Amino acid sequence: MTDLRHLDLSHNNIENVGVLSLSKIMKKITHLRHLDLSQNNIGDLGAESFSKKMDSMTEIEHLNLSHSNIGDVGAIGLSTGMENIHGLRYLDLSHSKIGDVGAKGLSKGMENMIELEHLDLSHSNIGDVGAINLGKGMEKTLRLRYLDLSHSNIGILVLRV
């Protein structure tokens, strides 16, 4: 299983405890490029546990954590875990509870994601402050082609900046 490149565990009942078990296995799957954990109830605790094992996922290009009940604390944890993942091209955190605090945390991790092409944070609680912080974090993501912040709490303040 060490040569596994694509793992889809979407639409299961994986919760924070399951993610902790999965995180231990992830250390052995060093060539994984595509991971889909969407439609699970991972939550903040699961996202934090997962982020602590992300340092072994150096080849990951596609990460889908949409519909996973992740909030600000989980986003900050993920951001820390993503600091060494330079080749990530696709990140989906849509349909989350991430707000301005989580967006600020994500922006710090995004500073190193220079290959990022697709970022979906739609259907979140991100407001003006979070959107501004994300913009600052994305200054080095020169390949970004798709950014979705629809159905969030962004107002007119962002348009003035």
- What is the residue extent of each domain of the chain? 6-160
Name the pLDDT band for 157 (thresholds 50, 70, 90). Answer: low
pLDDT of residue 22: 86
Buried b (16+ CB within 10 A) or exposed e, 42-63: bbbbbbbbbbebbeebeebbbb
Closest listed residue to residue 68, CA positions, set 45, 52, 89, 85: 45
Is 158 a residue whose pLDDT tops 70? no
Which two three-digit tokens encode residue 122? 């739609």
In the predicted model, is pLDDT for residue 2 greater than 90? no
Say if residue 26's pLDDT is above 90. no
Task: Tell me the whole-structure pTM to 2 decimals.
Answer: 0.94
Could you give the 3-state DSSP secondary structure of residue 47? helix
* More confident site: 4 or 159: 4
Q: What is the pLDDT of residues 78-126, one digit of tens each?
A: 999 888 788 999 999 999 999 999 999 999 988 888 899 999 999 999 9
The per-residue pLDDT for 52 is 86
Q: Which fold has domain 6-160?
A: 3.80.10
Residue 158, both tokens? 């962002």
Write the pLDDT tens digit of every residue in 68-81: 999 999 999 999 98
